[in-house]
Amino acid sequence: MKRFRKEDFPVSEVRRFLEPGPIVLVSSAWQGQTNIMTMGWHMVLGFTPSLVGCYIWDENHSFEMVRRSKQCVINIPTSDLINEAIGIGNCSGRTLDKFQEFGLTPVLGEKVEAPLIKECYANFECRLAEGSMISKWGLFIWEVVKAHVAISPRYPETFHYRGDGVFMISGRSINLSRKFTPEML
Amino acid sequence: MKRFRKEDFPVSEVRRFLEPGPIVLVSSAWQGQTNIMTMGWHMVLGFTPSLVGCYIWDENHSFEMVRRSKQCVINIPTSDLINEAIGIGNCSGRTLDKFQEFGLTPVLGEKVEAPLIKECYANFECRLAEGSMISKWGLFIWEVVKAHVAISPRYPETFHYRGDGVFMISGRSINLSRKFTPEML
């Protein structure tokens, strides 16, 4: 697995990695147990504060862990971790330790108890900003309170889910900033 | 611009096109006026009913149009429309007709008043499912009530926004369904 050297990154700019829509790994901790889930249903909701919405199914073991702890880490895996992401989605933290099972390394967070996944390209420490839509819509709104991002490459190769076991691998980047009016950048 | 031949598509399967996280065009109609906005902040929230959440800034001209009409169409543009999408994001429907300005063709919806954009790969007609998070969070929850999708190609080449004028173009698809447990598919 890749080893990334990471630096602190402005929380207001995490949209660079989330808005393109990759599969993310959500790590959590609650009452001495940790867990990881694979997630594709998320969206950016603001820059300052840095807000992210996500849907978590209440049947997932992570659901109660993040709801009760009011914290999680959103980790961005690169395409070399695609089999691990599928495996993590295929089993439940009720019956096994996913860090151990998939050879991933938990790293202590700075602002939350939930562990960062060392092998991921980026780690966003999150605190619950709004929980009132959880019971009706499964919708959590998180504030990213600390971001750790690999120094290189500038844009990671991520994987994006289409359903039915099919993934899209992120392709080339193009800079079209010259076509934007200044206030749109 | 491309011409797509489209067919009805199951609304429960629109995640195939939305979950990978592309930039979409949101079209609307209100009091005889139509409009289009470019949007990157959206997420899937359910299959049946087919639910999509999205964030719309209250400064956008489309905000009041979709809030009042309680309808919109989410259109999926392919990468050949990237300049149009930027242009649509750079100007306001307050002062011009975006269909005319960008040479796009409005097509009558079947279940909503908002027009479909003919030149897009797919068109999802939406009705507002929940409006109670609009004022505090800018968050609309839509039910996709009718989907029109191009017959070919199976997976469109979409563009995904990273901020700062930089886009990611969707890359190759890989089928890893053999690695999923049956109930996860």
Rounded to whole angstroms, how far apart are CA atoms A45 and B142?
16
Left if phi > 0, otherwise alpha if psi is -120 to 50, otherwise beta: which for A63?
Answer: alpha
pLDDT at B24: 98
Collapsed DSSP state (helix, strand, coil) of residue A81: helix
pLDDT at B5: 97
Residue B7 included in any domain:
no
Partners of A92 on chain B (C-beta within 8 Å) are none
Instruction: Tell me the average pLDDT across A129-146.
Output: 97
Residue B8 included in any domain:
no
Q: How far is B130 from chain A (nearest CA, A)?
A: 10
Residue A110 included in any domain:
yes
Collapsed DSSP state (helix, strand, coil) of residue B105: coil
Count of residues for chain A?
185
Note whether A165 and A23 are within 8 A (CB). Answer: no
Partners of A185 on chain B (C-beta within 8 Å) are 164-165
* Element counts in chain B: helices (H) and strands (E): 5, 12
Q: What is the ipTM of this complex?
A: 0.97
Amino acid identity of A92? Answer: S
pLDDT at A1: 76
**Range from A108-112, A153-157, A180-184, B18-22 carrying the lowest mean pLDDT:** A180-184
pLDDT at B142: 98
Beta bridge partners of A123: A75, A148
pLDDT at A184: 83
Residue B140 included in any domain:
yes
Domain hosting residue B29, numbered range:
20-184
pLDDT in tens, A66-81: 999 999 999 999 999 9
**Between A163, A177, A179, which is nearest B16 by CB?**
A163
Instruction: Tell me the average pLDDT across A11-15.
Output: 98
Tell me, what CATH number does A179's domain have?
Answer: 2.30.110.10
Residue B12 included in any domain:
no
**Between A83, A155, A160, which is nearest B20 by CB?**
A160
Per the confidence metrics, is the pTM higher than 0.95? yes
* Closest residue in B to A83 (Cα–Cα): B179
pLDDT in tens, A39-61: 999 999 999 999 999 999 999 99
Partners of A155 on chain B (C-beta within 8 Å) are 162, 166, 168
Q: Which two tokens stand for residue B124?
A: 């999802």
Residue with tokens 């004022």: B135
b (16+ CB within 10 A) / e for A114-127: bbbbbbbbbbbbbb
Question: Is it the case that residue A103 has pLDDT exceeding 80?
Answer: yes
Sign of CA dihedral B15, B183, A116, A135: positive
Domain count, chain B: 1
Residue B88 included in any domain:
yes
Please provide the DSSP assignment of A124-183 as one string: EEEEEEE-TTHHHH-EEEEEEEEEEEESS-SS---EEEEETTEEEEEEEEEE-GGGS-GG
pLDDT at B18: 98
Instruction: Tell me the average pLDDT across A10-23.
Output: 98
Partners of A184 on chain B (C-beta within 8 Å) are 89-90
Q: B165 and A178 in contact by Cβ < 8 A?
A: yes
pLDDT at B185: 80
Q: How far is B80 from chain A (nearest CA, A)?
A: 13
Q: A166 and B175 in contact by Cβ < 8 A?
A: yes
| Mean pLDDT, 10 residues at a time, chain B of 185 residues | 93 98 98 97 98 96 97 98 97 95 97 98 98 96 98 97 98 97 84
Note whether A172 and B79 are within 8 A (CB). Answer: no
Note whether B159 and B79 are within 8 A (CB). Answer: yes
**Between A16, A171, A185, which is nearest B169 by CB?**
A171
pLDDT at A65: 97
Residue B115 included in any domain:
yes
* Closest residue in B to A23 (Cα–Cα): B20
The residues, ordered by sequence, that sit 6+ positions from B101 with a Cβ below 8 Å of its Cβ are B87, B91
Collapsed DSSP state (helix, strand, coil) of residue A44: strand
**Between B43, B46, B87, which is nearest A43 by CB?**
B43
pLDDT in tens, A104-137: 999 999 999 999 999 999 999 999 999 999 999 9
Beta bridge partners of A108: none
Residue B9 included in any domain:
no
